[in-house]
Amino acid sequence: MLANSKNQRIYDVRFNWCDIPKLTVITAVVVTGAASSFAAEPTKLDFTKVSLKDPAGKAHSLADLQEKSAVLFFLGTECPVANGYLPTMKQFAEKSGTLGVRVVGVHSDPSVDAKAAKLHQEEYSLPFPVLIDADQRLASMVGAERMGQVVMVREGKIRYRGRIDDRYSDTGKRREQASQHDLQDAVDAVMIGKEVATPETKAFGCPLPKLKSNSDNR
């Protein structure tokens, strides 16, 4: 666990759980609202002016997303759902890399600074790059709302957005094994030139905190 867990937060507001012991496995989740439908041909986004820093402070341009493929995985240092999927995403990153699809971890929680992101990356030995999106510019751009959510981008267009698989249900129960592998199915379809059967699914995980407006700070 992270060294600095003194003021650990519980994001699962739906069940209003609190004071969960540090090593307790939380299986309750929060579900997004009804997923919006994708257009037949997704709009091409402009990533050329998007640049995010990694925990070491190095800036990384996302301009290559205009031509290449990537899966954006929205992280959470204390989100049990997002952290629970890290082993799956580590394996996925190794496999997808051979297909020319890279995985990029994204911290869009404004409270996660470079130090916390670095500790989290080291604790879980993440093999893929991790970027900090404190102003939620990237999250807003691709429509990400939750930690544990994934977005596949190919040639500047969103091809899939939602859950990784069906391990979590809207009742808060966690299956031992997933029966549907939504992200993998989407990537497999896109990389052979097929349409994704279900380009958007309900995402399960901790909601990204809303940014405070200027009026909130007065």
Q: What is the pLDDT of residues 185-203, one digit of tens each?
A: 999 999 999 999 999 999 9
- The residue that leads in pLDDT, 175 or 81, is 81
Q: What is the count of structural domains for the chain?
A: 1
How many helices (H) does the chain have, and how many strands (E)?
A: 5, 9
Would 142 be classed as within a structural domain?
Answer: yes
Integer Cα distance of 28 and 13 in angstroms = 10
Q: How many CB atoms lie within 10 A of CB 106?
A: 25
Instruction: Give 170's pLDDT tier (boundaries 50, 70, 90).
Output: low
Average of pLDDT values for 27-50?
61
Would 21 be classed as within a structural domain?
Answer: no
- The residue that leads in pLDDT, 4 or 213, is 213
pTM of full prediction above 0.85: no
- The residue that leads in pLDDT, 88 or 176, is 88
Residue 40 has pLDDT above 70, yes or no: no
Residue 30 has pLDDT above 80, yes or no: no
Which CATH number fits the domain that encloses residue 131? Answer: 3.40.30.10
Q: What is the pLDDT of residues 140-150, one digit of tens each?
A: 999 999 999 99
Integer Cα distance of 30 and 13 in angstroms = 8
Average of pLDDT values for 151-156?
97
Would 32 be classed as within a structural domain?
Answer: no
Containing domain of residue 80, as a range?
Answer: 46-208
